[in-house]
Amino acid sequence: MMLRRRGALGGARQGRKALAVPLCALAVILGPTGAAHAGTGGLTPVDQKSPNVERSTDIYYLILGFSGLIMLLVTVPLLIFIVRYRGRGRSREVEGAQIRGNTRLELAWTALPVLILAVIAGFVFYKVPGITDLEAEASGDSRLEIKVDGRQFYWQYRYPNDVIAIDTLRVPLGQVVELEIGAPESDVNHSFWIPALGGKFDAIPGETTRTSFRADEVGTYEGQCAEFCGVQHAAMLQAVEVMPRGEFETWLANEAGAQRRGASELGERTYQGACAKCHGMAGEGLIGPPLAGNSLLQDRDALEMIVRNGQGAMPAVGEGWEDRQMDALFRHLRRNVAGGSGAEDGS
């Protein structure tokens, strides 16, 4: 009849078991956290290299603080009750205190979260302007506007002077950089994100999103396309290279000339960003067929057709490219990919 009769022994075991719950949980949760060293890792977000990230990280820490508080408010009483009111082998017939509720308590644990959330929401609204409208370092400092296109499976950037860059974006230190993010109409959704420099914004065909950052340390910061975009989504990596201002200006001016003359690395970069992820770094073939030794590479018109319009499982990677980019790619393909090794024939 009785479901179970627990002796004193069983009760003690039960008690220890009850304690094991929280201890285990704590160990499991703190274990990996503790293993993380200073700097990033653990519950520390990425290094912040731009004021907007610093500000959104402030929001993070505020919420983290309140979350810790609420976690304690829930788990500490729960643990105490679990230990204090454990059955200790008492029979199921023994009822606990028949308490049905308490209006004041209900009001308290309604009001407290409301208050906390109001503080959090207020803090977010207070921080938002500093995140979305980055102020210049010195008043009157100009902003650098860059157009970002997410494409299967590379990022194409265009500077105000029409310089084109692929996957790696070079920017000046300390200047506000505004990104206008989109995708060609025939492409799919992507999301541009360099964690150290700011939140992510989607690159959606037919839409434009905007964001800005102001890098405050020279270095290269990596990121990854954050919206699933197909078979090579994981290979869609991007980086921002922050350079001292003078160095950046010089590079940008030189690059503009080089790209006009067809003497830049644009062809190689384009191949690495837009083709190699499917055809291999040396054209050895991967998802797509090998290009090395492929006679199509000698046929400019046929190649252009394929690159601009896609074919079968190959997306229209080159749709909308200007001729100079196509020229640069074609030149690179013929020199470095077509004949396998060293089929140098000029152009």
Chain residues that interact with ligand HEC, rule: CB under 6 A: 152-153, 232, 274-275, 277-279, 287-289, 291, 294, 296, 303, 306-307, 311-315, 317-318, 329
Stretch that binds another protein, among 71-79, 160-168, 298-306, 329-337 (CB under 8 A): 71-79
65 binds another protein (CB under 8 A): no
In the complex, what is the shortest distance from the CB of residue 34 to ligand HEC, in angstroms, rounded to a whole number?
42
- As given in the structure block, the two tokens for residue 272 are 């690495």
**Which letter does DSSP use for residue 88 in this model?**
T
CB of 179 within 8 A of CB of 31?
no
On the 0-12 / 13-18 / 19+ scale of CB atoms within 10 A, 63 is middle
Phi, psi (degrees; rounded to nearest 5) at 149: -115, 125
Q: Cα 128 to the chain's mean position, in Å?
A: 20
Cβ nearer to another protein, comparing 159 with 213: 213
- Nearest Cα neighbor of 175 from 152, 159, 156, 154 is 159
CB of 242 within 8 A of CB of 221?
yes
Please name every residue paired with 170 in a beta bridge, in sequence order, or none if there are none. 241
In the complex, what is the shortest distance from the CB of residue 307 to another protein, in angstroms, rounded to a whole number?
18
Q: Which does 306 bind (CB under 5 to 8 A by kind): another protein, Cu ion, ligand HEC, none?
A: ligand HEC
Cβ nearer to another protein, comparing 77 with 340: 77
**In sequence order, what are the residues at sequence separation of 6 or more whose Cβ sits closer than 8 angstroms to the Cβ of residue 96?**
85
244 binds another protein (CB under 8 A): no
209 binds another protein (CB under 8 A): yes
In the complex, what is the shortest distance from the CB of residue 204 to another protein, in angstroms, rounded to a whole number?
5
36 binds another protein (CB under 8 A): yes
275 binds another protein (CB under 8 A): no
Q: Which does 187 bind (CB under 5 to 8 A by kind): another protein, ligand HEC, Cu ion, none?
A: another protein
75 binds another protein (CB under 8 A): yes
**Amino acid letter at 175?**
Q
Q: Which does 82 bind (CB under 5 to 8 A by kind): Cu ion, another protein, ligand HEC, none?
A: another protein
Per-residue CA distances from 282 to 52, 65, 212, 334 (Å): 40, 51, 36, 12
223 binds another protein (CB under 8 A): yes
Strand, helix or coil for residue 183: strand
Residue nearest to ligand HEC (CB): 312
**Among residues 168, 189, 298, 309, which is the contact residue for another protein, using CB under 8 A?**
189
In the complex, what is the shortest distance from the CB of residue 325 to Cu ion, in angstroms, rounded to a whole number?
20
Cβ nearer to another protein, comparing 76 with 263: 76
Q: Which does 314 bind (CB under 5 to 8 A by kind): another protein, Cu ion, ligand HEC, none?
A: ligand HEC
41 binds another protein (CB under 8 A): yes
Binding-site size, another protein (CB under 8 A): 109
Dist CA 39 CA 85 (whole Å): 42
Dist CA 17 CA 19 (whole Å): 5
Dist CA 319 CA 307 (whole Å): 7
Alpha-carbon dihedral angle through residues 105, 108, 113, 119, given to the nearest 10 degrees: -170
Strand, helix or coil for residue 243: strand
56 binds another protein (CB under 8 A): yes
Question: Binding mask 79-118 vs another protein (x if CB under 8 A, - otherwise)?
Answer: --xx--xxx--xxxxxxxxxxxxx--xx--xx--xx--x-
In the complex, what is the shortest distance from the CB of residue 57 to another protein, in angstroms, rounded to a whole number?
8
Cβ nearer to ligand HEC, comparing 173 with 297: 297
Give the pairing of strands 219-224 and 201-203: unpaired
Q: Which does 209 bind (CB under 5 to 8 A by kind): Cu ion, another protein, ligand HEC, none?
A: another protein
Per-residue CA distances from 258 to 79, 164, 252, 255 (Å): 69, 11, 10, 5
